[in-house]
Structure 1
Amino acid sequence: MQIRDLPYPDPGIPDARSGPRFLVWLGRNQLGGQLKALSWGLLHFLGIGGLPVGAGLAIQAVIDRSGTRLAVAGGLIALFGVAITVGDTMLHRTAVTNWITAAARVQQLLARKAAELGSALTRRVAAGEVVAVSTGDVEKIGWFVEALSRFLASVIAVVFICVGLVLYLPELGVLIACAVPVLALSVLPLLPHATQRADIQREKAGKATELASDTVAGLRVLRGIGGEELFLGRYRRASQEVREAAVRSARMWALISAIQVLLPGVLLISVVWYGAHLALDGRIGVGSLVTVYSAVTLLMFPLRHFEEIAMAYSFSRPSAKRAARVLSLERTAFESERGGLDDARPTGELYDPATGLRVAPGLLTAVVCGDPDAAGRLAERLGGHATEEEQSASVLLGGVPLDGLPLTAARAAVLVQDKDPVLLSGTLTELLDVPSSGVVAADKALAAAQCGDVLNALAQASVDGSGDPMRSTITERGRSLSGGQRQRLALARSLVTDPEVLVLDEPTSAVDSHTEARIAEGVKALRTGRTTVVFASSPLLLDHADAVAFVHDGKVAAVGTHRELLVADPAYRAVVTRETDEEQAAEPPVAPGRVTTEHRATDHIDARQIITPAPSPAREEIEESA
């Protein structure tokens, strides 16, 4: 695989049982690139090992006044120089290719897993850890894959050089051959401590990244409550902990590097001292001494790769462990076995056996739930994102279990927009360029979501000066927009997809009441003939719904229109109008059954409670009416 051929058509199925197993699997899939790098590395290191031979022959030829042997020595030095140059160039090229392609493979695997898990990913793994894995950890894993081939080439080169020195000059070769393994293994006792400190640093860095991500995401809220300094102080402390951990880790690696400099230096001094005595005694020639001295000096270069591979593995092992933990996640145990059904979209009634909720096809159904967390879980379950504990109560669409459908078919049939949707960076055209039926145009979706003021703001902020809002850039997570603007753009994106069933969780919690009423009308008109489920407690939305289901204590307690339930169900009225217990106790009981016109006329409930949204803590801001 070359860089120009990326991305991979299929990154493969990783062995995510552990970090080391994942690294082995990754290296096995990079086998072709590893062999290429190993070959070029051998050429490079053996060229380095051959230089002392040419230098020794040249010096001996000068001493013996042999021009022929000097010319041969010069030719050998030139040949080894070419080998070093070509080998080093191609080794760097192939090693970097291995690095980039390995990192790209891991990124593709993570992206595929994120797409498979969807919103379940951040419920199982902290957002900061996901960011750390997909950025810094990917780079460190690629570093180990890249360093592995150079390390293997250096091992083979060191063995060849040691064997050659033993055969060439046994008096000094045996000393060097015995000392090199000691040099290579001298840092092993320190590696566990270095690895432990590196793990601590990675853990603290991941927590700091998570804290920074959460702080930036909630910056608007923090400014509203004056909590910037509090969270800034927390990040300062987390940052200092990362710095201290990094310093402790760097000290250990500095000690390892010092040992890797000190011991080879001691070996070199010993070789020179012993070799000089042998030369003075006439047991070896000056050329032989120069050859051995040069070989020991150049031998330090491949030995450096022993330290590098130890460092690369120490840093990549925790990174691979985190990546394997993310890649080992499954959407549900049942979904991993499914796939027997075709990809056709089921249609019909949406039914949740756990709560008894039935959503009639082609209508706008509102769901009122007093517990926001329970509402969020129910919305996720309606989209087929049931947990393993909820598999026995799989949601049915037209009698077909959503958890029994292939993932692509389930997502095409039911789309869930949570209460905090994410806008990706890019132009508005790119934001709305999503898989869809092609029936709903972008302009109609934007109009239904009441995005007129958003388009005007984007047109004024147009970078290219065209004034075209569709070409304006939306910053990461839409942070340049207000909460209500982000919410409406996300709603427009969901409307463009035109799924068979659209589930919206509090889609208007951040907009004013006038805009909310127009959005309710627009969504109902645009979704005519399609099934729409809205989780809300706003009377304006509820009054536009064809039917309202009230979920209490995990079960559907009442079904009707908004106005009927206001009169007939005190618990529903308490949730929607925020009535207190005292106010409920003071009301006369209402007999069950159909609500009559006379009862509505004499009911004491203020009409404003029907047409005016109750104050909601979820509302982040009040916007100007468009």
Structure 2
Amino acid sequence: MITLPDPVPPRPSITSPTAYILSMARLQRRTLAGGALLGVLWMGSQAAIPLVVGNTIDAGLVARDSSALVTGCLVLVGLAFASAFSGMMRHRFAVSNWLLGALRSQHLVGHHVADHGLAVSGKVTTGEVVQAVSTDGPRFADLMDIAARGTGTVVAFGAVAVYLLRIDLAIGLFVVIGMPLLAAGLIVLIQPLQSRQSRHRAREGDLTSLGADTVAGLRVLRGIGGEDQFTARYAEHSQEVRRAGVRVAGLQALLDAAHVLLPGAFLAGLTWLAGHGVVEGRLSVGDLVTVYAVTAFLQLPLQTSTEVLSRWVRARVAAERLIGVLGRSVPTSATTDLPEPNGVLHDPPSGLTVPVGSLTALVSARPETGIEIADRLAALAPGARLGDLPLEHLPADLVRRRVVLSEADPRLFTGTLREQIDPLGRHTDEEVLGAVHTADAFDVLTGLPEGLDAPVAERGRDFSGGQRQRLALARALLLATHPDVEVLVLVEPTSAVDAHTEARIADRLHASRSGKTTLVVSSSPLVLDRCDRVVFLDEGRVGASGTHRSLLSSSPRYREVVVRSETVAEETRR
């Protein structure tokens, strides 16, 4: 089995696209150095062939020295073998460098999204994440692939330029000055190409996001007859992507034409200078053959140099998009000091404190406020504290071990039912079934012939919304049984089930979480009545607290919010 490059991907610099490219290159510096060495040997051996041919002609044929002729032929055979072997090995290193670059970027994005969750999805669309993995990672890796050939090109050009300067000053200066001017002319075309590619890439991401959102809501669209409207919208966005692609292709075609025209004009001028030198008697026959052979060889370095420039542009665009995803995160510091065990969870912006060992409910006049607080308590947004220490000062993986958050929108993945409930695979069947019982999800289990080993389709699309919600609740309850977990935060865990199921879940949740720190964000009276304490938020701050029944009699505003939410829930269930 071939493992990933790094079990936990190291964090590259994301201050700029160039910084990202350089820091990622440092991670694979060994394979890049090996490829560069082989690239120098490969390109250098080819560059040496014209020089050896010219010397062999002058020393062996013109001077009629058979030993020099034989020696020159043997050297040419050796150079041919060296070129073939180094070319083969260089290609292996190039493929390895491409794979490492692509896999590291893809692994980095996947690991980052898994670590920071809502902090990424709340600011970056699903399409952007998909494009970063499927498109930007491989495009960035294209630069790693060509690094070996690019290094060989620089070294070979330097060697050829020195040799040509020794043969003839005019020819040498033509190469030394002409090649940089040629590159400068191509850069003039590459700069606008980069901006057009960036705009095209942005529109591709928007289109992917639109497609993902449309597919996710296809059932709803069919129910309201909105398929035609969204089809037209998708077609309109597709045309925008096409037009942006045509603009990129037009400039890319101009650049490709320049790749042929400019090097062709350069090589034609070099050939004319060599022929003129022979006519004037400055060059020998061997020198003429050398210049002609060098002219043919220089096509490869010229082509490679323009390809390097083109890939550099694409890599910078890809790195910029990767940074856009990696830069969306919850800020953390390197602090590793832990609060005392069973530290009190506190949210200063709202004034909420979750008492240790209690089942606490959070009711908000604005449902969004409750979700925002849950995000802060799980360190998906800064602001909350565990004990005396801000959660954002703790490493993300440590917070995940101590605070378990179950979101309002449950996510299921491809795999078995057992893997959905026990993703870490560290619980017995009895413990798994206990969590299933608490979440009242036995009907899901009994409806599948294979039981816990039954396969689950992507996103759990074969289950109803209530079934997915209850499976996600069972998963959260099972994770919260680990000794490291101090707090369980549940966001609307029963919003998609009927009243009878909700009542059973509320009773079982109260029993299973007795004496354990739990916060439930909900406005359901059935859940609120079974909680030890209810905290009511008004205008984003704690306005009242107590039992559900005491708040119903003492707080009209609380009673209004709960009754209204129950009415909405009943209408939704119907």
TM range (shorter): 0.7 to 0.9
Structure 1: distance between partners of 2:89 and 2:150: 15
* Deviations, residues 382-428 of structure 1 (Å, cap 9, x unaligned): 334443xxx4xx4455x766456554443333222121132233332
CA positional deviation for 1:30: 3.0
* Contact 2:503-2:527 within 8 A present in 1 as well: yes
2:199 aligned residue: 200
CA positional deviation for 1:376: 0.8
* Contact 1:415-1:503 within 8 A present in 2 as well: yes
* Deviations, residues 22-61 of structure 1 (Å, cap 9, x unaligned): 2222223333222211110111111222233455567776
Structure 2: distance between partners of 1:441 and 1:171: 84
- The aligned amino acid for 2:306 is E
1:19 aligned residue: 17
Structure 1: distance between partners of 2:24 and 2:315: 12
Alpha carbons of 1:268 and 1:310: their partners in 2 closer, same or farther (altered >3 Å)? closer
Alpha carbons of 1:530 and 1:289: their partners in 2 closer, same or farther (altered >3 Å)? same
Structure 1: distance between partners of 2:261 and 2:470: 65
Instruction: Say which SS state the counterpart of residue 441 (structure 1) adopts.
Output: helix
2:463 aligned residue: 481
Alignment of 1:132-281 (within 5 A): 132-168=131-167, 172-273=171-272, 275-276=274-275
1:609 aligned residue: none
TM-score normalized by the length of structure 1: 0.81
Alpha carbons of 1:409 and 1:67: their partners in 2 closer, same or farther (altered >3 Å)? closer
CA positional deviation for 1:157: 0.6
2:86 aligned residue: 87
CA positional deviation for 1:97: 1.8
1:431 aligned residue: 420
Q: Does 1:452 align with 2:420?
A: no
Alpha carbons of 1:242 and 1:427: their partners in 2 closer, same or farther (altered >3 Å)? same
CA positional deviation for 1:181: 3.0
Alpha carbons of 1:433 and 1:86: their partners in 2 closer, same or farther (altered >3 Å)? farther
Instruction: Say which SS state the counterpart of residue 415 (structure 1) adopts.
Output: strand
* Deviations, residues 565-598 of structure 1 (Å, cap 9, x unaligned): 444433233222229xxxxxxxxxxxxxxxxxxx
Alignment of 1:584-623 (within 5 A): 614-616=567-569, 619=572
2:333 aligned residue: 336
Structure 1: distance between partners of 2:555 and 2:285: 106
1:379 aligned residue: 374
Structure 1: distance between partners of 2:571 and 2:206: 27
CA positional deviation for 1:194: 1.0
CA positional deviation for 1:110: 3.4
Matched pairs, number:
568
1:470 aligned residue: 452
Instruction: Say which SS state the counterpart of residue 411 (structure 2) adopts.
Output: coil
- The aligned amino acid for 1:614 is T
CA positional deviation for 1:170: 5.3
Structure 2: distance between partners of 1:224 and 1:375: 30
Structure 2: distance between partners of 1:21 and 1:415: 35
- The aligned amino acid for 2:15 is R
Alignment of 1:292-441 (within 5 A): 292-329=291-328, 331-332=330-331, 335-336=332-333, 338-341=335-338, 345-347=341-343, 350-387=345-382, 391=383, 394-396=384-386, 402-403=391-392, 405-434=394-423, 441=431
- The aligned amino acid for 2:35 is A
* Contact 1:559-1:565 within 8 A present in 2 as well: yes
Alpha carbons of 1:59 and 1:205: their partners in 2 closer, same or farther (altered >3 Å)? same
Q: Does 1:493 align with 2:475?
A: yes
Instruction: Say which SS state the counterpart of residue 504 (structure 1) adopts.
Output: strand
CA positional deviation for 1:192: 1.3
Gaps of 5+ in 1: 460-466, 580-612
CA positional deviation for 1:469: 3.8
Structure 2: distance between partners of 1:617 and 1:16: 48
- The aligned amino acid for 1:182 is L
Instruction: Say which SS state the counterpart of residue 308 (structure 2) adopts.
Output: helix
* Contact 1:345-1:412 within 8 A present in 2 as well: no
Alpha carbons of 1:558 and 1:183: their partners in 2 closer, same or farther (altered >3 Å)? closer
Structure 2: distance between partners of 1:66 and 1:455: 91
1:605 aligned residue: none
Instruction: Say which SS state the counterpart of residue 298 (structure 2) adopts.
Output: helix
Instruction: Say which SS state the counterpart of residue 234 (structure 1) adopts.
Output: helix
Structure 2: distance between partners of 1:172 and 1:409: 66
* Contact 2:342-2:356 within 8 A present in 1 as well: no
Gaps of 5+ in 2: none
* Deviations, residues 174-223 of structure 1 (Å, cap 9, x unaligned): 54444333333321211211111111112212222222233333333333
Structure 2: distance between partners of 1:336 and 1:500: 21
Instruction: Say which SS state the counterpart of residue 463 (structure 2) adopts.
Output: coil
Structure 2: distance between partners of 1:374 and 1:63: 91
Q: Does 1:48 align with 2:46?
A: yes
* Deviations, residues 81-127 of structure 1 (Å, cap 9, x unaligned): 21221121111111222222233333444344434433222234344
Structure 1: distance between partners of 2:499 and 2:142: 55
CA positional deviation for 1:532: 2.5
Structure 2: distance between partners of 1:224 and 1:354: 41
CA positional deviation for 1:226: 2.8
Alpha carbons of 1:408 and 1:55: their partners in 2 closer, same or farther (altered >3 Å)? closer
Structure 1: distance between partners of 2:302 and 2:451: 59
CA positional deviation for 1:351: 4.5
1:102 aligned residue: 101
Structure 1: distance between partners of 2:352 and 2:170: 89
Query: Could you say what the CA RMSD is over the residues aligned between the two structures, in angstroms?
Result: 3.3
* Contact 1:45-1:84 within 8 A present in 2 as well: yes
Structure 1: distance between partners of 2:170 and 2:397: 72
Instruction: Say which SS state the counterpart of residue 122 (structure 2) adopts.
Output: helix
1:463 aligned residue: none
- The aligned amino acid for 1:29 is L
TM-score normalized by the length of structure 2: 0.88
Structure 2: distance between partners of 1:559 and 1:571: 12
Structure 2: distance between partners of 1:74 and 1:617: 92
Alpha carbons of 1:173 and 1:426: their partners in 2 closer, same or farther (altered >3 Å)? same
- The aligned amino acid for 1:544 is R
Alpha carbons of 1:177 and 1:426: their partners in 2 closer, same or farther (altered >3 Å)? same
Alpha carbons of 1:74 and 1:400: their partners in 2 closer, same or farther (altered >3 Å)? closer
